[in-house]
Structure 1
């Protein structure tokens, strides 16, 4: 690339591929010949940008290695029994009846036990079942995971509205319950 600049004696000279000293750069800049200077600035800007991105990636990668795992650490599984409607305390029965039309989650603490309830709201038909996937104690809470299983395809189902819910009884614990 040829750079034309004016020497101090006003003679036009060509500068090919060598470093210009500061004085010559200033002469080139004043005379409007900024192509080489702009190219250097662009190269420097790209270098700085990629260096900053690299430093950010490396620092987050290194910092991420020493962090505590974000998953929930299970301390132990909890023993439970699924409670039928006949065995429910009266106060809990009335609370379930009041909430059963909508999806709801609640706990009920009695003297000797903790009742965990998950209702799935109004369903168009019968034939639903609820499966407990997990009930365990973690460091900061009790985790309760259930799945609503719909009627099988082709199975005969009642064409009446149903309100599926499950009540689980476990040992008395005062930790918060997290429904998953």
Structure 2
């Protein structure tokens, strides 16, 4: 490959790299269970409720820090009926990250109802600077 072709290839590669984007590679390592609490609807701080209300129609996952408490929020977007439940499969941490794994479970036919619903869950953990990795899936 000539100098001109090599230089052109380098310019093309640099042009294709997104400016300002950052990819974080989380090395999982050994996970240990992390203590958490499922927050009842009436105990969710107002600012978190407002955020969730804005996002509820689409799938979302967010965290919010209040003092020494980190809130983990996971919403499964608009569902055609009610009767859904969310199961917490895992809340754990490794040396490099916190992992939150949930599962959306579909309603029994008798429990479905006819109105759309917006299943979501809020978990409370201790303060952490580690990145949060949300894992989850849907069973209908």
For the criterion TM > 0.5, the same-fold answer is yes
1:89 corresponds to which of 32, 45, 59: 45
Superposed CA RMSD in Å reads: 1.6
- Contact 1:74–1:136, Cα closer than 8 Å, also in 2: no
Counterparts of 1:168 and 1:111 in 2: how far apart (Å)? 15
CA distance in 1, matches of 2:54, 2:27: 35
Alpha-carbon deviations, 1:104-156, whole Å to 9, x = none?
0000011021100000000000010000111101121101100000012x433
Q: Which residue of 2 aligns with 1:161?
A: 116
Which one of the candidate residues 121, 131, 134 is aligned to 1:179?
Answer: 134
Q: Which residue is 2:73 aligned to?
A: 117
Measure the CA separation in 2 of the matches of 1:156 and 1:143: 31
Rounded Cα–Cα distance in structure 2 between residues aligned with 1:174 and 1:167: 18
Q: Partner of 2:102 in structure 1?
A: 146
Unpaired segments ≥5 residues, structure 1: 1-69
8 A Cα contact 1:128 1:148, kept in partner: yes
Unaligned runs of at least 5 residues, structure 2: 1-25, 136-140
Cα distance in 2 for partners of 1:71, 1:107 equals: 20
Superposed counterparts of 1:2-151, under 5 Å: 72-151=28-107
Q: 1:172 to 1:88 in 2, by over 3 A?
A: same
How far apart are residue 73 of structure 1 and its match?
2.2
Give 1:161 deviation, angstroms: 0.5
Larger radius of gyration: 1
Q: Please report the TM-score for the alignment, with normalisation by the length of structure 1.
A: 0.58
Kept in 1, the 8 Å contact 2:84–2:104? The answer is: yes
CA contact (8 A) 2:82 2:111 kept: no
TM-score (norm. length: structure 2): 0.74
CA contact (8 A) 1:136 1:142 kept: yes
